[in-house]
Amino acid sequence: MLQLIIILSVSTIFSLCESASILEKINQKCSIRDDKCMQGLYRSLLQEMSDNGIPELGVPKIDPMDLKNREFNFLGMIKLTVTEGEAKGFKDCHATSYKSDFETHRVMIEFVCDRFTFEGSYKIESTPSLLALSGGINIHGEGNGAIDIENVQLSFDFATEIKKLDDGEIHIIIVPEDSSYDFEVKGKVTVQADNILVGKTEISCEVVNIFNENWQYITNTFGKNVLDKAMDVFFTLSNEFFEKTPAKNWITEDLSAYVKS
């Protein structure tokens, strides 16, 4: 869950920017060599969507963001469904670093988010694999929970291509297979949950205590598996935006010399 919240803070920049109107409202273009300007552009995009959304597309502001019927699978053993919830904190994310090298087609961006909070209802259930391995011990429940995540740093190293697409315009596209990312929770993670059962025995308190005492180990051990799946969504949404938004809408230079044949 916390990994998806982290990645949404960045992917929302692209996935909700399908209308050029938000770029027109911000009214900012940057040189590909002006890293400070590009850093400010990313910050402005996130702030605009956090505060106002995109009314002409029926997109509400993203802080808070509604999360509904999101499913997560942990090592094929536990299935967690967020049935309904609300995440806050996107407006407190900001780009702290931006570096680009268009000769090598790489862009490096770093974001820091001060705090994310999530509150909502969930359903947890054992998969057939866990039931088989545990001799039928069934972990399940439907309850309410909350997550508080302090000070998240998310770093991207994007590989890009400059292409002329079917619209005849030049676009910047991310190459997922050659890109990488990293994340670090510099503060701490605290969870609350109720109504987690083994059979008919309530174990919520024990589960919450184990997580809160060992959140760093749990996040480092299992976090990347969850984040990898979120990254697939991120790259898809990002390129949906880039494919609909010509580079000339936000870049001052003519990128013809960089177009990949």
67-91 pLDDT, tens per residue? 788 777 776 778 888 899 888 887 7
Spatial distance between the Cα atoms of 188 and 186, rounded to a whole number of angstroms: 7
Residue 204, pLDDT score:
92
For residue 52, count other CB atoms closer than 10 A to its CB: 14
Secondary structure (3-state) at 186: coil
pLDDT value of position 103: 77
In the chain, the amino acid numbered 102 is: F
| 220: exposed, middle or buried (Cβ count in 10 Å: 0-12, 13-18, 19+) | exposed
**What pLDDT is stored for residue 49 in this prediction?**
67
Name the stretches of the chain with pLDDT < 50. Answer: 1-9, 13-19
Q: What is the pLDDT of residues 23-67, one digit of tens each?
A: 666 667 888 888 888 888 777 776 776 677 666 555 566 677 777
Q: How far apart are CA 54 and CA 63, in angstroms?
A: 13
Helix (H, G, I), strand (E, B) or coil at 90: helix
Q: Contact, 197 vs 141, CB < 8 A? A: yes
CA dihedral for 55, 61, 67, 73, sign (positive or negative)? positive
Task: Give me the pLDDT at residue 7, please.
Answer: 46
Looking at domain 2-67+91-118+149-191+216-258, its CATH architecture is Super Roll (3.15)
Tokens 């967690």 -> residue: 80
How does strand 70-74 pair with strand 78-88?
antiparallel
Residue 225 confidence (pLDDT): 62
Element (H, E) at 188: none
Q: Which stretches does DSSP call E strand in the chain?
A: 65-67, 70-74, 78-88, 93-101, 106-126, 139-164, 170-174, 180-185, 189-193, 197-198, 201-202
Cα–Cα distance, 96 to 241 (Å, whole number): 22
Residue 17 has a pLDDT of 46
Tokens of 13: 């920049």
Half-sphere exposure of 140 (CA within 13 A, CB side): 10
Which residues fall within 8 angstroms of residue 50, CB to CB, at 6 or more apart? 61, 62, 63, 90, 91
Output the pLDDT for position 8: 47
SS3 56: helix
Q: What is the pLDDT of residue 1?
A: 47
Helices (H), 121-203: 128-133
